[in-house]
Amino acid sequence: VKSEGPKLVPFFKATCVYFVLWLPTSSPSWFSALIKCLPIFCLWVFLLAHGINFLVSHRSASRILAGLIFSAVGDAFLIWQEQGYFIHGLLMFAITHILYSSAFGMKPLDLKAGLLMGLVCSSCYAFLYSYLSGPFTYLVAVYIALIGFMGWRAVAGMQLCNDLWTWTKLSACIGAMLFMVSDLTIALNEFCFPVPYSRFIIMATYYAAQMLIALSAVESRDEDDFRKRS
């Protein structure tokens, strides 16, 4: 907390600015896009504060940074989703989930967690299916598969049963789950029915998810510090 907390202060301030201003989505502008993306920009700074050499030498951290960059672009597209940029935002976040999955890695495999995540995602898609039409029938299926895969890799890395978990892996797991909640709320609100307080739920879980996933990138730094002390 002492080492990482101060680096997150700009993120918390930017998040507060977003919720205090609460700019209407009915009149999208570059200013509203900036305010929405500002907390993600601060997470870029958070990772860059650990040093360029750290990011270059640790692929997982650099991939999470790349995911945050695509997330910011996706956020900007979604500001103008009513003008036809929803699919563009969907594509940017699909790339984000691929990058996060790559950052979390494929070890340990944990097929049980994968099966459970597959059942959850299949159930969600089965519910959404009757509300989808046109290209969204396939696009949403692919997107759910990608975010479900990302969630599986985050959960698999935690290893609670083997007592091998770390606070950074726990951050990745909780962050992935919150990301799924955020995206499911978007899907329900966009395709099915109006969700009460949907914007607040979507953005609160989204910002928390991105912060926790960014925090998981310092796992490699912790391992380096441990080796030096040893």
pLDDT digits (tens, 9 = 90+) for 45-91: 999 999 999 999 999 999 999 999 999 999 999 999 999 999 999 99
pLDDT band of 227, cuts 50, 70, 90: very low
Instruction: Say yes or no to pLDDT of 109 above 50.
Output: yes
Q: Is the pLDDT of residue 224 over 50?
A: no
Measure Cα distances from 87 to 78, 84, 179, 195 in Å.
9, 7, 18, 21
The pLDDT-based confidence of 3 (bands split at 50, 70, 90) is confident
Q: Give the percent of the chain with pLDDT over 90.
A: 83
Residue 194: band (very low, low, confident or very high) from pLDDT cuts 50, 70, 90: very high
Instruction: Give the ranges where the chain is alpha helix by DSSP (H).
Output: 9-21, 30-48, 52-57, 59-79, 86-104, 111-129, 136-156, 167-187, 198-216, 219-229
* CA-to-CA dists, residue 165 to 114, 157, 161, 171, angstroms: 18, 8, 9, 10
**Weakest mean pLDDT among 6-10, 37-41, 157-161:** 157-161
What are the φ/ψ torsions at residue 156 (nearest 5 degrees)? -60, -35
142 token code pair: 């692919």
Instruction: Answer yes or no: is pLDDT of 1 > 70.
Output: no
What pLDDT does 111 receive? Answer: 94
Cis peptide before 10 (omega within 30 of 0): no
Q: What is the pLDDT of residues 22-32, one digit of tens each?
A: 999 988 999 99
Q: Where are the domains of the chain?
A: 4-228
Total residue length of the chain? 230
Quick one: pLDDT band at residue 2, thresholds 50, 70, 90?
Answer: confident
Q: Do the beta carbons of residue 177 and residue 196 sit within 8 Å?
A: no
Which range, of 74-83, 178-187, 211-220, averages the lowest pLDDT? Answer: 211-220
